[in-house]
Structure formats: structure tokens, C-alpha cells
Structure 1
Amino acid sequence: MIMELSPSVKYGLNFFHPVMMWALLAVSLYVAYLGLQVQRTRSAQGEEKKELIKGRYNLRHHQIGSILLGLMVTGSVGGMAVTYINNGKLFVGPHLLAGLGMTIAIALSAALSPFMQKGANWARMTHILLNFTLLGLFTWQAITGVQIVQKILSNA
């Protein structure tokens, strides 16, 4: 038995993914700020370092970054699911491809954590590069996502 969603529910689902992803873009910027503070703490000395350590930036970066990973993967899969539910297919284009790239980038970035905890500088540099790439892709996603939402609204 296949359960059919009402048209109003299908229409409303179109907006869950964009709202969630805009919130995650803001969280991503905050996590980037925390990461920069971790780097600043790592290179500081003396009293400045003591003050920065009190901010517990490393713990907050790790915890919020972990939440971001889970929600971003969920949002990515959810966006594809809603598109498929409403259209019976996925639209292969820049928005989908950049979203898949973001999902891969955040997964690889998080996978580097054990190496960074052991002091591997190559992992730290790769983590930073992946995350700046992720922010670039996320910005592109925001732009193309607004265009998609405008199209949905104009077809309503």
C-alpha cells in the first residue's frame, strides 16, 4: 500500500530543506569562527593563551561541528527525498552536485578528527581546506537554493 501525501503537505515540505540549510549556513559560520579561535589558542602564549583556553573553543568547535555534520547530512538527504516525493525524480544540476560535494566535504573533514587529535598537521591543514571549500559550496547552495524556492513560489 502506497501512502499519498496531500498536496498542501507536499508543498509545505518544499520549504523545510531551505530553512534548515540557511540555519546550518549560519551555524557553519559560527563553527568556522570557533575553529579560528582554536587555531589562535594553539599559537598564543602566556596570559593570552590562558585567557583563550578559558573559552573552551576546541570543545565547542568539536561538539557543534559534530551536530552540524549530522544535521547537514540529514538535510542533504531530506532535500533529495522531498524533491523525489514531489517530482518523482531528482534534478541533476549545480544545486544537487554542490550539495553532494558539501556532504562529502563535511564527512571527510570530520573523519580527520582522530588524526588531528594525535597532532597530525597535514590532517589539520586538510581539515581547514575542506571546511573553507565547504563554506564556498554552501554559499553557492544558498544562491541556487533561493532561485529554486522562487521557482516553487511562482508555480504555486
Structure 2
Amino acid sequence: MNLVIPETVKFWSQFGHPILMWVLLGLTVYALYSGIQWRRTRTADKDTRKELIQKDFRTKHYQIGSLLLALMVLGTIGGMAVTYINNGKLFFGPHLLVGLSMTGLIAISAALIPLMQKGNEFARYTHITLNVTLLGLFTWQAVTGMEIVQKILSKL
């Protein structure tokens, strides 16, 4: 079966992945904020804790984290698919390898949640370490991704 994709669709599809990833980078920063606030809630004195509980950072952090996991996996697959559709191959390089590694890191981080819910501090610190690493890699990916977008635009 030979599926023919119109050239305009092929061209504009190249920008979906970068846009999604920039949105996810922003959501990652918010997930960090809500995670810090949830940690503060758990360790705060009685009055501060009562005030923070009302803001429900635990639920916000969990929901944003779940959304990040789902969209990062889909965004990674989508970015690879669009690259393959437009070029007939994937470009093996740091951007691809780091992106795949990030997808693995976020999956491992999410897998630690059941242990964290049982009070496992090692799982909690591992979750934090993985996510701070993920944020650093995500920032680097944003820079290298914009270099790729500039290459695409220069071919116009």
C-alpha cells in the first residue's frame, strides 16, 4: 500500500512536534513547581499545611505528570514518524538519542509513584533526581530542536 501524503501536510506536520515539546517544557516547569509545593505541604507545620492542602498541589502534580508522560511518549513517536515520512529515514544523532532517553526517564519516574505512595524515600529522591535531569535534558532539547527547525525553514 502506497499512501500519498500531500506536500503541504508533510511540510506543516514538521512543526507539530516542536510546538508540542515547547508546551511540554512549560508544563514540566509547572510540574516541578507543583511537586515542590506538594513536598512543602507534606513537611509543613500544621497551619501552613492546612493552607497548602486547600490548593491541592498533590492532585495538580499527579495530573500534570500523567499528562506529561502521555504527551511526551506520543510527541516522541510523532516526531520520529514525521521525520521518517518527510525524509525517508531518521537522523541518528544527539537530539534523537536524548529524546528517546527522556521518554525512558519519564516512564521510570512515573513507575516510582506506587512506591512513593507507600512512603519509600529512596523512590521519592530517585523520582526527584530523574525529573530534574529530565528538565535539564528538555531544556537542551529545546535548543537543539530550534536548530533543526531553522534548518527546515532555511530549505524554503
- What range describes the TM-score normalised by the shorter chain of this pair? over 0.9
1:114 corresponds to which residue? 114
The reply to whether residue 52 of structure 1 matches residue 34 of structure 2 is no
1:85 corresponds to which residue? 85
Q: In 2, Cα distance between the equivalents of 1:30 and 1:46?
A: 25
Letter in structure 1 aligned against 2:15? F
The reply to whether residue 140 of structure 1 matches residue 140 of structure 2 is yes
Letter in structure 2 aligned against 1:80? M
Structure 2: runs of 5+ lacking an equivalent: none
Q: In 1, Cα distance between the equivalents of 2:80 and 2:46?
A: 50
1:98 corresponds to which residue? 98
Task: Using the TM superposition, give the Cα deviation of residue 4 of structure 1 relative to its aligned residue in structure 2, in angstroms.
Answer: 1.2
Q: In 2, Cα distance between the equivalents of 1:141 and 1:99?
A: 7
Q: In 2, Cα distance between the equivalents of 1:81 and 1:124?
A: 34
1:27 corresponds to which residue? 27
Provide the identity percentage. Answer: 60
Q: In 2, Cα distance between the equivalents of 1:76 and 1:42?
A: 34
Paired residues, what number?
Answer: 156
RMSD: 0.6
Q: Deviations over 1:52-110 (max 9, x none)?
A: 11111011100111011000100011000000011111101111011011100100000
Task: Using the TM superposition, give the Cα deviation of residue 46 of structure 1 relative to its aligned residue in structure 2, in angstroms.
Answer: 1.5
Q: In 2, Cα distance between the equivalents of 1:99 and 1:68?
A: 14
Q: Deviations over 1:30-65 (max 9, x none)?
A: 011000001111110121111011111011100111
Q: In 2, Cα distance between the equivalents of 1:101 and 1:8?
A: 31
Letter in structure 2 aligned against 1:144? T
The reply to whether residue 150 of structure 1 matches residue 156 of structure 2 is no
The runs of 4+ residues in structure 1 deviating greater than 6 Å are none
1:123 corresponds to which residue? 123
Q: In 1, Cα distance between the equivalents of 2:16 and 2:59?
A: 29
What SS is found at the alignment partner of 1:89?
A: coil
Structure 1: runs of 5+ lacking an equivalent: none
Task: Using the TM superposition, give the Cα deviation of residue 2 of structure 1 relative to its aligned residue in structure 2, in angstroms.
Answer: 1.1
**TM-score under structure 2 length normalisation:** 0.98
What SS is found at the alignment partner of 1:105?
A: helix
